[in-house]
Amino acid sequence: MTVQVARPYRAMALMGATGTGKTALALDVAEQWGSCIISCDSMQLYRGLDVGTAKASMEERQRTPHHLIDCADISDIYSAQRWADAALEVIKQETGQGRTPLIVGGTGMYLRALIEGFAKIPEEKEGIRDYFVALQAEHGTAYLHGLLKQCDPVLAARLHPTDTQRIMRGLCIYKSTNVPLSTWQAEQEAQKETIDCPVFVLDVPRPELRERLAIRIETMMNAGWLDEVRWLKQQQISELHPALRAVGYRQLLMYLNDECSREDAVRDAITATRKYAKRQVTWFRNQTPNAVSGDAVELKQAMMEQLKIWK
């Protein structure tokens, strides 16, 4: 029998593409279980970006406590690690009170920063990846996996022999630093605090999601999104600020800059949002292989069962 050691901090992550209905499901579970919600959205952090980010309404926030929403002025710039540090503090506080917070959103890199941390690994040296790409083309991925076994057996044992991307990364880092990638990762692992955080990914059939997103954009426009983008333009922030490059905001800014018509801006915003949702779906499928995926009914049952186990 395997004995599981209790971990000090617990949270539950409900992730998924934009427009899948994460907020409604999270509120349902949080209200039934007395949990708070930690927003995992890189744009909902900023005060003033309400409509275009589908930020939880004040009524919804009164129903369930929300964290990491409206915690930065637009002149500020948040990073994934800064978000992770703040989220960890909330998790510690909630765990200390015997509660399990729900992490809800679609910014996968933020969740990764919290759960895995960012290892301070040096950059690959120039030309090394090209060398291994040529080897892979000539001999195949299994050959590269054999090379990885020689220089980083720990990493090789964790990877499937056909996982070209991660095998290549391991070889490049070793060749660049003379230190196995698994060693770099172990150092990071020793520094970060352990969080028990199962991940649940909300799925919606693609045709349905495409339709939802079109309706969502039109609803946002009717709710004053263009005025919000006009306000954002007036803030005179750096062109490199994430908000100016965010999906939807970027397209509406083009209209305000007389670079396209309003109709074209809305159409392009819908197209860009659909493409973004597709990238999110792909990211969660590839980067969270152990996540439980399903529709709202399935995930609610699975999440409630997990919370009962932890009770």
Q: In DSSP terms, which residues pair with 17 in a beta bridge? A: none
169 & 301 share domain:
no
Residue 184, domain member (yes or no): yes
Measured in whole angstroms, the distance separating CA 127 from the mean position of its chain's CA atoms is: 31
261 & 210 share domain:
yes
62 & 187 share domain:
no
Domain containing residue 49: CATH number: 3.40.50.300
Can you tell me the distance from the alpha carbon of 156 to that of 170, in angstroms, rounded to the nearest whole number? 8
Residue 1, domain member (yes or no): no
Residue 5 pLDDT grade (very low, low, confident, very high; cuts 50, 70, 90)? very low
Domain that holds residue 185: 128-191
106 & 212 share domain:
yes
Residue 238: the pLDDT is: 80
User: Which of the listed residues 152, 170, 191 is the one where a domain comes to its end?
Assistant: 191
Q: Determine the 3-state secondary structure of 193 from DSSP.
A: coil
Residue 191 pLDDT grade (very low, low, confident, very high; cuts 50, 70, 90)? low
What's the structural domain count of the chain? 2
Contacts of residue 183, Cβ cutoff 8 Å, sequence gap at least 6: none
Single-letter amino acid, residue 23 = T
301 & 200 share domain:
yes
Taking residues 59-78, report their average pLDDT.
93
287 & 213 share domain:
yes
pTM: 0.76
Does the CA dihedral 164-170-173-177 come out positive or negative? negative
Contacts of residue 250, Cβ cutoff 8 Å, sequence gap at least 6: 244, 272
Tens digits of per-residue pLDDT, 86-132?
A: 999 999 999 989 899 999 999 999 998 898 876 667 778 888 988 99
Domain containing residue 170: CATH number: 1.10.20.140
Residue 2, domain member (yes or no): no
DSSP category for residue 125: P
Tens digits of per-residue pLDDT, 146-174?
A: 999 999 999 999 898 988 878 988 999 99
Residue 126: the pLDDT is: 84
